[in-house]
A and B are shown apart, each in its own frame.
Chain A
Amino acid sequence: MIRADSRFKHHPDVAWRLVQEDGLLVDPRNGRIYPLNPVAARIWTLLGAARRVSEIVEILINEFDAPPENIREDALGFVNKLVEAGLVVEIPGLQQ
C-alpha cells in the first residue's frame, strides 16, 4: 500500500528516457518496455527526485487540468504499478 509520505527512487537497473512529452522505461531484467504518457512521465521524473508521493500529487494538481481527486487516484495507482513491477524502490530511511 502506497502511503502519502512514501518516497521512492528509480530502480538502478531500469533504463529510461524522456521522449518529447512522453517517457519510456525499459527493464533489462525481463525485457519489458513501458511507454509513458506525459502525466506518467512527469510522475516518473518527480519520483527520481525523491519527492514524497503527496508532494508529487500537489505538483500534478497544479500542472494538469483535471479534478484533484482524479489526479490523486491516478497518481497513486500509477506509483503502485511501478512498485509492483519493481521499477521503483522505496526509500525507507526518509519516511516520517
Chain B
Amino acid sequence: MGPEYTDSMQTARPARAPKPLRFQIAGIPFAVRASSSQHRQWLRTAYKAFRTKRKPWVHLAIRTRSRSCFYVRNRERIVQDGGHWQLESQIFRIRELIPRKEYEAEIAAGPGIGDLMRAWFSGVLLSRGGILLHAAGVIRAGRALVFCGPTGSGKTTLARLAGSQPLLSDESIAITRRSGAHGSAKIYYAHGTPFFGELAAATVNRCAPIGEIFLLDAKRSPRTRGGCRLSSVRASQSMAQLVAQSFLRRPAANSLNILLPLLDELIQRVRVCRLEFDPTAEIWDFIDDTCR
C-alpha cells in the first residue's frame, strides 16, 4: 500500500535555499551557504568588510544541528577520511567534499560560527599554500609588521598603540606567498582577517609585504620595563612558536607535512626575532630604528 495522499503533500514546495554569501579573505573568494538565518546575519555583520562580488573558488555549506549530535568530550582534531580532511570539535564538524573547493559543515545551534569559520579557513588556506597565524598585524610604511604570540602576549596592546596605522588584525593574520616579477624570489604577504580580536571592527581587508615577524612571549620579562628589546631566535625556536600559533590544533601528520616546509621557507625569507616591549607609542620608533 502506497503513502496516503494529503493536501499538504500536493502543496508542499521545497524550501528556497538561502542565497550564498560571498567573502574574500587573503585573496581567496569563497561562498558560504548557511541554513540558519542567525548564522547568515552574524556572517553579514562580522565579515562586512570582507564581502566580495568575485566568483567563489571555494564553497562551504553549513547546516545547523541539535547540540546532542556532537560529542562534547571530543577535543578538536583533524582526521583524514579517504584522502579528504575532516575537522571535528565539540560543537562542529567540517568535511572536505572536493579537495580545496567544496566543503560541508554541521554546527550545533547557538554561538560558535566564528570558531567554525576560522578553523575551516585555516584548512583552506593551508591547502592553498598559506598559513593562518595567531598574530596581530600593522601596516607601517608599506610593510606589514606581524606580532605573533599566545593570548596575553600583547598583540591587542600593540594593535591599540598602532593609532592611525592600518590594522590588519589584533588576533589572526593570514600569510600567503607570491612569486615576484619575472620569477624572482617569493614575496610573503600578511593579510587582514575578520577572525575575532577585540579590535575586529577596526580591521581592514588589506595586505602588505611582510617586513618582520616579531615573536612575543606570554609573560613579559621585567627587564623590558622602560624599554624595548629585540633578540635573535634560533630557527627551531622560531618554527616551534609559529607552529604553536598556527591555529592547527592537533593537526594530522599530513597537514604538518604541508605546514612545516611552508614555515621553513618563510623563516628563511623573512626576518623573525623576539620582541620584548614596554607598552608605549615609542615602540614604533624603536622598530623603525632597529629594523631599518
A14 to B257 CA separation, bound complex (whole angstroms): 10
A75 to B251 CA separation, bound complex (whole angstroms): 29
Say if the beta carbon of B249 comes within 8 Å of chain A.
yes
Say if the beta carbon of B236 comes within 8 Å of chain A.
yes
Output the least CB separation between B153 and chain A (Å). Answer: 17
Output the least CB separation between B178 and chain A (Å). Answer: 23
Interface size on B, residues (CB 8 A): 20
Output the least CB separation between B78 and chain A (Å). Answer: 8
Establish whether residues A21 and B253, one from each chain, have CB atoms under 8 Å apart when the complex forms: no
User: Which residues from chain A contact B244 at a C-beta distance below 8 Å?
Assistant: 33
Closest residue on chain B to residue A12 by CB atoms? B253
Establish whether residues B250 and A17, one from each chain, have CB atoms under 8 Å apart when the complex forms: no
Establish whether residues A17 and B252, one from each chain, have CB atoms under 8 Å apart when the complex forms: no
Establish whether residues A19 and B267, one from each chain, have CB atoms under 8 Å apart when the complex forms: yes
User: Which residues from chain B contact A37 at a C-beta distance below 8 Å?
Assistant: 234, 236
Establish whether residues B257 and A15, one from each chain, have CB atoms under 8 Å apart when the complex forms: yes
Closest residue on chain A to residue B77 by CB atoms? A28
Say if the beta carbon of A36 comes within 8 Å of chain B.
yes
Output the least CB separation between B34 and chain A (Å). Answer: 30
Establish whether residues B236 and A15, one from each chain, have CB atoms under 8 Å apart when the complex forms: no
Closest residue on chain B to residue A17 by CB atoms? B260
Closest residue on chain B to residue A40 by CB atoms? B236
Output the least CB separation between B116 and chain A (Å). Answer: 20
Establish whether residues A24 and B234, one from each chain, have CB atoms under 8 Å apart when the complex forms: no
Say if the beta carbon of A26 comes within 8 Å of chain B.
yes
Most A CB within 10 A of own CB, among B251, B256, B268: B256
Please pick, from A14, A15, A20, A35, the residue contacting B240 in the complex, using a CB distance under 8 A: A35
A37 to B243 CA separation, bound complex (whole angstroms): 17
Establish whether residues B240 and A33, one from each chain, have CB atoms under 8 Å apart when the complex forms: yes
A15 to B256 CA separation, bound complex (whole angstroms): 6
Most B CB within 10 A of own CB, among A12, A17, A20: A17
Most B CB within 10 A of own CB, among A15, A20, A36: A15
User: Which residues from chain B contact A17 at a C-beta distance below 8 Å?
Assistant: 239, 260-261, 264
Within 8 A of B (CB), among A2-26: 12-17, 19-24, 26
Interface of B toward A, CB cutoff 8 Å: 234-237, 239-240, 243-244, 249-253, 256-257, 260-261, 264, 267-268
Closest 6 A-B residue pairs measured CB to CB? Answer: A22-B236, A15-B256, A35-B236, A17-B260, A20-B235, A19-B235
Interface of A toward B, CB cutoff 8 Å: 12-17, 19-24, 26, 28, 31, 33-37, 41
